[in-house]
A and B are shown apart, each in its own frame.
Chain A
Amino acid sequence: MEENSNMTAERSLEIITKQIEQSRRAVSKTTGQSLYVSGICIMCTAVLVPIINMITMSQGMIGLGHLLWFALPVVIWLLSRKYIKDREHTPVSLVSSMIAKTWITFGYFGIGFFVIAIIWGIIAPRLLTLSEYATSQIRVAPVIVLLMGMAITITGHILRQRWLVVFGIVAGLLCFAWEHFHVGEAIVMNLVSVESPVALTAAVINSSLPCLTIFIFALVGLLLPGMMLKKQSV
């Protein structure tokens, strides 16, 4: 581009449009890549957690796989640094920073809530009776899916994608109700009797049901929007 001051109004407008569009594409590309990497990481974790739970359950360690969720932010950060090469030079736009802040806020609340639930899960059985503990137990999955639904809805609003907004609201509320009222567990327990030899497997399935919900959320809320943004910016 040269230092030319004899431009027509049309040429000026063309330059403005071209540069804004170019910048928007570059930003969309890296935002899309970030969402894509995060989506894949969350989906892989949602698959690995039940597998580890199943392997370790036979050794008497229940729910050990859920510790993987703590490693997730670090893995996402490391992979983003390694694979998103353009990120270093791409400017921060309002859209990309709003999406990043939305998901970082989700991360703070999600991990914070998870930690509180684990600490309470360790302390409460020693302080309370079994019946008291049953009523005061903190269940992580319903709140996580609700928070995730909110984050997806906000992302949809920022990206102006109505389907994502609708998905966030509907899936967030439905999955909250599904998890809160133990619908999945009730179905599994109705299919498998407690005395049967597969009761242990049923218990593993029960503890893994929230992972399935999170897998679907990561697919629709992160991976698909990420692919969409990457495609739009080509």
Chain B
Amino acid sequence: MFQPLDPLLHSELRLAVMSLLVSSEEAEFSYIKEQTGATAGNLSVQIDKLSTAGYIEVEKTFKGKMPCTICRITPVGLKAFEDYVKTLKSYLKVHKK
């Protein structure tokens, strides 16, 4: 019996954001936008969803006079990502057989 994939992570952009944050301590909004190639509006909505779920924390700060949004993955987010990858692996194993 397959475990269902976390619907919050099973989206291209949200998964890309989480994958970026997994390998770094924190990342700026502009960096995530650049790496994912998403539009600012769409990315903002997806980050909001991840933040509401407690998967990431968002800190709004300033860099000089420019506003700067920093995103960090939370322990809850890390656990959800690990579970998502585990489930994904089980899907792929069956698929290979």
Contact = CB atoms under 8 A, between A and B. Distances in A.
Asked if A pairs with B, the answer is yes
Contacts of B16: 1, 15, 18-19
B28 A91 contact: yes
Contacts, number: 91
B61 interface: no
Interface string A9-31: 11111011011101110110000
Interface of A: 1-5, 7, 9-13, 15-16, 18-20, 22-24, 26-27, 88-94, 97
Contacts of B20: 19-20, 22-23, 91
Contacts of A10: 92
24 contacts: A1-B13, A1-B38, A2-B42, A4-B11, A4-B13, A5-B10, A9-B92, A10-B92, A11-B12, A12-B10, A15-B16, A15-B19, A16-B19, A16-B85, A19-B19, A19-B36, A20-B23, A23-B35, A24-B23, A88-B63, A89-B28, A91-B25, A92-B26, A94-B25
Given A12-B88, A13-B92, A26-B35, A7 B24 contact: no
A3 B91 contact: no
